[in-house]
Copies of this chain bind each other. A is one copy, B any other.
Amino acid sequence: MPSKRARGSRRRAAAASDPTAALADRLHSAAIHLLRRLRREDDASGLPAPQLSALSVIVFGGPVTLGQLAAAEQVRPPTITKLVAALEADGLVTRETDPDDRRVVRVTATARGAKLLQDGRARRVASLAESLRGLSAGNRATLERAVPILEQVVRREHPFH
């Protein structure tokens, strides 16, 4: 990497000369702060954000194996085991062994789980939605266009990673 600049300004220069990296940096920072703010609303709904996220996959994705859930949530199997155990302890999901392959466990949402997701979700997005309503229609439209792109970026696998 060629460096024409003095040491002190190289940090800034790197960002300026690579707008994509600068964009990535700001996106990362915005995501951190967004989640920190929303976690408080999640708490009010009685279920932490990762559990809500997993419950969402279970509710909308029908019966799902733990492995599929781990892949969808992009976490390791032990993490999913714990998350689902917590959901099950709260009576929000049920686990049952697949009769055809008794290694796999399928998770299904209970009626209570579906309802809690619905309620929690409503409460959770209310805060963010309120902020979004403070935006101009144009800015909101920009976010509408950006979100599907973000979803695509998040799902993308890296060839050499």
B-binding residues in A (CB < 8 A): 1, 4, 7-8, 11, 14, 18-38, 49-50, 53, 56, 73-75, 111, 114-115, 118, 121-122, 124-135, 139-140, 142-147, 149-156, 158, 161
A53 in contact with B24 (CB, 8 Å): no
Find the B residue at minimum CB distance from A14. B122
Which residues of chain B have C-beta atoms less than 8 A from A142's C-beta? 142, 145-146, 149
Q: Which B residues are in CB contact (< 8 Å) with A21?
A: 122, 125-126, 129
The residue in chain B whose Cβ has the minimal distance to the Cβ of A117 is B11
Q: How far is the CA of A161 from the CA of B38 in the complex (A)?
A: 12
Count the copies: 2
**Is the Cβ of B140 less than 8 Å from the Cβ of A143?**
no
**Smallest CB gap from A146: residue in B:** B146
In the complex, what residues of B have CB within 8 A of residue A129's CB?
Answer: 18, 20-21, 23-24
B34:A154 contact, CB within 8 angstroms: yes
**B133-A20 in contact (CB<8A):** yes
Task: Please give 6 more A-B residue pairs, beta carbons under 8 A apart, in addition to A21-B126, A24-B126, A139-B152.
Answer: A22-B125, A31-B38, A32-B35, A32-B49, A36-B74, A143-B149
